[in-house]
Amino acid sequence: MKPPEIAFVPTMGALHAGHESLIRLARSLSEDAVVSVFVNPLQFENPEDLAKYPRTPDVDTAIAIAAGAARVWIPTAQEIYPAKVDLIDSGEVGKTFEGAARPGHFDGMLTVVKRLFELTTPKWAIFGEKDFQQLFLVKAMVAKFDLPIEIVSAPIVRESDGLAMSSRNIRLSPEGRAAATVISQALGKAAPVKDLALARSTLAAALADQPLFTVDYAEIIDEATFLPATSTTGSNRAIVAGWINGVRLLDNMAMSQATV
Ligand code: PAF
């Protein structure tokens, strides 16, 4: 009998409820849900961040199996990069927003994702919408190299007060954690606004209300191009990133569509 096709969830570990939802989605697509845990040095522009990144393989394995993974793969750097690799160029979009704040990050991310795809040969690969620019770039890479893989996106999983789940949230002080709700609240205020200029000013004003949040960017982008939206005829999305207590937080929300 032919083995089931693979549904693949790439991760860097430190698994939380957001990852669990990706794994459950993978499991709904295939009995052979494979989760990789690999902290990819190429996507860290800061060596200190790479050194500090949590590594909890036993806990991650238990969480992944409980969420439905059939296999958890924790490769070594040697397995992923046995020889010198040529970085994949993430292009202009890779240099904006998250890419502007983290130069080289998306080239490193695409390079590892392509290697992971080569080594796991999945039919489906699941990515969360939380890293919406990552999702955009992975889809663009799959199209560019004509890879026979379906990229499946999964909605953001939120805490009960709206904060998007992230392994970074635990680094917030109690005060910072309370302040962080401003991000999803601001997105929620901007998302229904039909006029683009008004939506942008609504987003900026709502974020400015919280002095603990330092905005890096707050923009409404066209999902087809990842450029700032110029019309409301296509699918647009509000994206936000910034810092609280020195912790970088990002979030996004689909704009309700309707032409003004
Ligand atoms: O989103 C992540 O955790 C990483 O960027 C990924 C996709 C596992 C590649 O290292």
- Residue-wise pLDDT for 172-226, tens only, equals 999 999 999 999 999 999 999 999 999 999 999 999 999 999 999 999 999 999 9
Edge to edge, the sheet with strand 71-73 lists: 71-73, 32-37, 6-11, 124-128, 150-154
Residue 259 pLDDT greater than 60, yes or no: no
Ligand 1 cavity residues, CB under 6 Å:
10-12, 40, 43, 109, 112-113, 131, 134
What is the distance in A from the centroid of ligand 1 to the CA of 193?
32
pLDDT tops 80 at residue 143? yes
Q: What is the pLDDT at residue 260?
A: 47
Mean pLDDT of 15-29: 97
pLDDT at 61 over 80: yes
Give the mean model confidence (pLDDT) for residues 49-59: 93
Closest ligand 1 atom, residue 128 Cα? 1
Distance CA 170, CA 181 (A): 14
Q: Please identify, by atom number, the ligand 1 atom nearest to the C-alpha of residue 10.
A: 8
Contacts of 260 (CB under 8 A, 6+ apart): 194, 195, 196, 232
- Over the chain, what is the mean pLDDT? 96
Helix ranges (DSSP H) in the chain: 17-29, 47-52, 57-67, 77-80, 98-101, 105-120, 132-144, 174-179, 181-190, 196-208
Q: Which of 80, 105, 112 to mutate to test the pocket of ligand 1 (most atoms within 8 A of CB)?
A: 112
Ligand 1 centroid–CA 153 distance in Å is 13
Residues 6+ apart with CB under 8 A from 61: 37, 72, 74
Q: Does the 6-154 domain belong in CATH 3.40.50.620?
A: yes
Arithmetic mean of pLDDT, 28-39? 98
Q: Which amino acid is at 60?
A: D
Ligand 1: distance of its center to the CA of 134 in Å? Answer: 8
CA angle 232–225–238, rounded 5-degree value: 55
pLDDT of residue 3: 87
Choose the weakest-confidence range: 29-38, 103-112, 251-260: 251-260
At residue 36, the pLDDT reads 98
User: Sorting pLDDT into bands at 50, 70 and 90, what band is 258?
Assistant: low
Q: What is the pLDDT of residue 2?
A: 85
Q: Which residues are tagged catalytic?
A: 19
Tokens of 158: 């939120």
Q: Residue 240: is its pLDDT beyond 70?
A: yes
Q: Which CATH number fits domain 167-254: 3.30.1120.10, 3.40.50.720, 3.30.420.40, 3.30.1300.10?
A: 3.30.1300.10
Which protein residue has the closest C-alpha to ligand 1 atom 9?
Answer: 109
Over residues 69-99, the pLDDT tens digits come to: 999 999 999 999 999 999 999 999 999 999 9
Query: What pLDDT, on the 0 to 100 scale, is given for residue 200?
Result: 98
- H or E element, residue 238: strand 236-244
Cβ-in-10-Å burial (0-12, 13-18, 19+) of 204 comes to middle
Protein residue closest via CA to atom 5 of ligand 1: 109
Q: Where in the chain is the domain with CATH 3.40.50.620?
A: 6-154
- Starting at the edge strand found earlier in the chain, the sheet holding 247-254 runs 214-222, 236-244, 247-254
Q: Where in the chain is the domain with CATH 3.30.1300.10?
A: 167-254
- CB-based burial of residue 153 (10 Å sphere; 0-12 exposed, 13-18 middle, 19+ buried)? middle
pTM score of the predicted model: 0.96
- Among 12, 117, 153, say which to mutate for ligand 1: greatest number of ligand atoms within 8 Å of CB: 12
Q: What is the Å distance from ligand 1's center to 203 Cα?
A: 28
